[in-house]
Amino acid sequence: MHKLSIILPAKNEAEGLKSFLPRLRKQQPHAEIIVVNDGSTDNTAEICLANGVFIVTHPYSMGNGAAIKSGVRHATGDVLVFMDADGQHQPEDIPRLLAHIDNGYDMAVGARDGDSQASKARGFGNALYNRLASYMTGHEIKDLTSGFRAAKTHKFREFLHLLPNGFSYPTTCTMAFFRSGYSVIYEPITAPKRIGNSHLNVMKDGFRFLLIIFKIGTLHSPLKLFLPISLSFFFTGLAYYLYTLTSVGRFTNMSALLFSTSTIIFLIGLVSEQITSLIYNQAHEVQPLTGGSAFAPEFSNHINPTALSKQVA
């Protein structure tokens, strides 16, 4: 049987944690539950203490991805489960993810159905990311941005240094697993409406998620992103050259510019491909880390001593 560590990043999620933590403890009585209090200004810490879970506290908000990394550094289990603290992820679904880990998969992801999307705009955005990521990896990706997932600890820690501090950590770790040839499976889930207010801003995070599209390409196979762009400039330049050749009988500066741009974009993609390969080769050279005690000094000033005394074995 696996030793399970459940990690919940939380920023002002006291309302959700009040009902969620008892449900989670009832469903997984032997699991290590780690709540990372990411600079909350409400009584998130008090709720965690009342429920006897391990709590890591950031002195200020560092971001969802930073909270995930803090939780992983303190986890002692050989399997990690990541969940949101807002009540959208159901503790009852955890065994279904763990069943895939038992069957040999390296990571199992809870894939939200259409009724679980917060809005039509966000659902459309997630569908776009899923299609692009599926093209980049050559595997069907059903929910690229889902924060509900289970993974083998030593393999997840290989990519800890690649994870961003913001909300795009699910995208990064998914692409990293596929890029490294690790097995990933998707388990359908239904996520109810979150408890409390969302921390996402439509305008700000809409632009940020647009940047994720480019990150997807550079994380997995840059040439798959840069090559089509390069070819579009090349064929546009070729078509324009044929037009000017028949109309004015010469090779124009615009055609030269389009051909040059095509070459530059292709070379950028080629260099990016080599850099990506080096990054993942270095990641695999890092020794897998076990246990959480080695990381304790880094965050020792942020851990509530009362919470430590109530850590669940």
Q: Is the pLDDT of residue 306 over 60?
A: no
Query: Cα–Cα distances in Å, from 122 out to 29, 133, 190, 200, 205?
Result: 35, 16, 16, 11, 11
The encoded tokens of residue 159 equal 């990519």
Q: pLDDT by residue (tens digit) across 177-186?
A: 988 889 999 9
CB 298 within 8 A of CB 55: no
Query: Binning pLDDT at 50, 70 and 90, where does residue 244 land?
Result: very high
Q: pLDDT by residue (tens digit) across 33-69?
A: 999 999 999 999 999 999 989 999 999 999 999 999 9
Q: Is the pLDDT of residue 296 over 50?
A: no
Query: Binning pLDDT at 50, 70 and 90, where does residue 132 land?
Result: confident
* Higher per-residue confidence, 47 vs 113: 47
CB 42 within 8 A of CB 51: no
Average pLDDT, the chain: 82
Please name the amino acid found at residue 61. Answer: S
Query: Binning pLDDT at 50, 70 and 90, where does residue 223 land?
Result: confident
Q: Which residues contact 242 (CB under 8 A, 6 or more apart)?
A: none
The encoded tokens of residue 164 equal 């961003």
What pLDDT score was predicted for residue 88? 85
